[in-house]
Amino acid sequence: MINDRPLVYLDNAATSQKPQVVIDALVNYYMTENSNVHRGVHTLSQRATDSYEEARVKVQRFLNAADDKEIIFVRGTTEGINLVAQTYGRQNVGEGDEIIISAMEHHSNIVPWQMLCQEKGAHLKVVPINDEGEFLLDEYENLLSPRTKLVSIVHQSNALGTINPVEQIVELAHARGIPVLLDGAQAVAHVPIDVQRIGCDFYVFSGHKLYGPTGVGALYGRADLLDAMPPYQGGGEMIRSVTFEKTLYNVIPNKFEAGTQNIAGSVGLGVAIDYVNNLGMDNIAAYENELLAYGTKRLSEIEAVRLIGTARHKGSILSFVMENAHPHDVGTILDAEGIAVRTGHHCAQPLMDRFGVPATVRASLAFYNTRERN
Ligand code: PMP
């Protein structure tokens, strides 16, 4: 109950609620397996290592990556993008080079590239979107140049719901030998993902939006790229041998997993993946699309409401503003009814500028939402 009303949780794009099995898995891990991984010969350490590595394989299969060594556990999407910027980016981007993002990026897919560009004297190029909130492929193609070193685009926008044409985005970049990173923070909970079919070079997501725990996520990277990249952080686990004169680094994925990782979180993420696999990502997408269509229709019937983000290909997000009502007030009134929505700029200020609004109200859906108030 929230404010004496049954909770209607419509803030799933910020983070999702956790199934009981995920909560149980965390408790169970700490009760029966808690130990450090890859270190001890003792049984408990081997159990923890097995669970941790099984979770990696679950992520690999979930994304359909070719090999489990292409999966790096990170804190979440933000850390995954920073990892690529600070390793691949630092190694491959130089003065006068260009990185392409889009107008609908989350701050976490803007700021790491700005920091890199500032350091290297490189330039950030931004693919514009239309009034419906759709990625403009023609404009994108025009921006691709011999100086482009990386393309980094959101798969599904957290503020609009737009699902981008990622296969075409990758194809156009690859035709010019440019690698592509996809920010899958939202898409991963709503769309079946196949990194080999998409063809992307990097794919990042956060566990907590996929019904898993906070503080854990994954970076998929093509093995040849990861092999060639320098490490991100230095410390235990990421080394093969250390002397004061010289350190030899470990192979992937360990090269990028310095220090004790979020072992329990990774195990919990694996269980969350089992959970959505049991439901079926196609079923989740179909159900949410039906809810989205219903919500869109009902909101469109209210004259004072303006929907922000009306792409033909979108999912799970209803973002809107109301005439003569500040989004914050709308959110506060809904909260008094036990309805949780997000209000604000959704960590996408340049996108809000594009639509000429400071903020929106955002209702974001998950498979456990219903048409009726339950
Ligand atoms: N990208 C997108 C599209 C997001 O929606 C989010 C989370 N709102 C992020 C990146 C950042 O994810 P995290 O805070 O879990 O690192």
Whether residue 374 has pLDDT greater than 70 = no
Q: Say if residues 27 and 167 touch (Cβ distance below 8 Å).
A: no
Question: What pLDDT, on the 0 to 100 scale, is given for residue 1?
Answer: 87
Cα of 247 vs centre of ligand 1, distance in Å, is 34
Q: What is the pTM of this model?
A: 0.98
Rounded to whole angstroms, the Cα distance separating 186 from 303 reads 29
For 1-45, write each residue's pLDDT tens digit: 899 999 999 999 999 999 999 999 999 999 999 999 997 889 999
For residue 75, give the ligand 1 atom closest to its CA. Answer: 16
Question: What pLDDT, on the 0 to 100 scale, is given for residue 195?
Answer: 98
Q: Quick one: pLDDT band at residue 115, thresholds 50, 70, 90?
A: very high
Among 348, 316, 327, CA closest to 12:
316
CA 48 to chain centre: 26
Cα of 133 vs centre of ligand 1, distance in Å, is 18
Six token digits for residue 274: 């089992």
> For a pocket test of ligand 1, which of 186, 203, 211, 319 has the largest count of ligand atoms closer than 8 A to its C-beta?
186
For 231-282, what is the HEC assignment? CCCCCCCCEEEECCCCEEECCCCHHHCCCCCCHHHHHHHHHHHHHHHHHCHH
Q: Say if residues 156 and 311 touch (Cβ distance below 8 Å).
A: no
Among 172, 183, 112, CA closest to 136:
172
Rounded to whole angstroms, the Cα distance separating 321 from 344 reads 11
- Same fold yes or no, 8-17+280-364 and 24-278: no
List 26, 223, 239, 347, catalytic entry: 347
Q: Which residues pair with 342 in a beta bridge?
A: 362
Maximal C-alpha separation, the chain: 70
Q: How is the chain split into domains, by residue range? A: 8-17+280-364, 24-278
For 188-240, write each residue's pLDDT tens digit: 999 999 999 999 999 999 999 999 999 999 999 999 999 999 999 999 999 99
For 271-288, write each residue's pLDDT tens digit: 999 999 999 999 999 999
Six token digits for residue 101: 């993002």
Dihedral of the CA atoms 72, 77, 78, 79 (nearest 10)?
-10
Six token digits for residue 190: 């709503």
Percent helix, strand, coil in the chain (nearest 5)? 40, 20, 40
For 68-110, write each residue's pLDDT tens digit: 999 999 999 999 999 999 999 999 999 999 999 999 999 999 9
Cα of 187 vs centre of ligand 1, distance in Å, is 11
| Identity of the residue numbered 98 | E
Q: Say if residues 164 and 109 touch (Cβ distance below 8 Å).
A: no
Share of the chain above pLDDT 70, in %: 100
Share of the chain above pLDDT 90, in %: 98
Rounded to whole angstroms, the Cα distance separating 128 from 102 reads 6
If you write DSSP's letter for every residue of 182-243 in order, what string do you get? Answer: EE-TTGGGTS---HHHH--SEEEEEGGGGTS-TT-EEEEE-HHHHHHSPPSS-STTSEEEE-
Please tell us whether the domain made up of 24-278 is placed in CATH 3.10.520.10.
no
Known catalytic residue at 117: no
- Angle ∠(86,87,93) on CA atoms, nearest 5: 80
For 336-349, write each residue's pLDDT tens digit: 999 999 999 999 99
Cα of 34 vs centre of ligand 1, distance in Å, is 29
CATH domain 8-17+280-364 topology: Aspartate Aminotransferase, domain 1 (3.90.1150)
For residue 108, give the ligand 1 atom closest to its CA. Answer: 10
Average pLDDT (141-145) is 98
Name every residue whose Cβ is closer than 8 Å to that of residue 21 and which is 6 or more positions away in sequence. 271, 274, 275
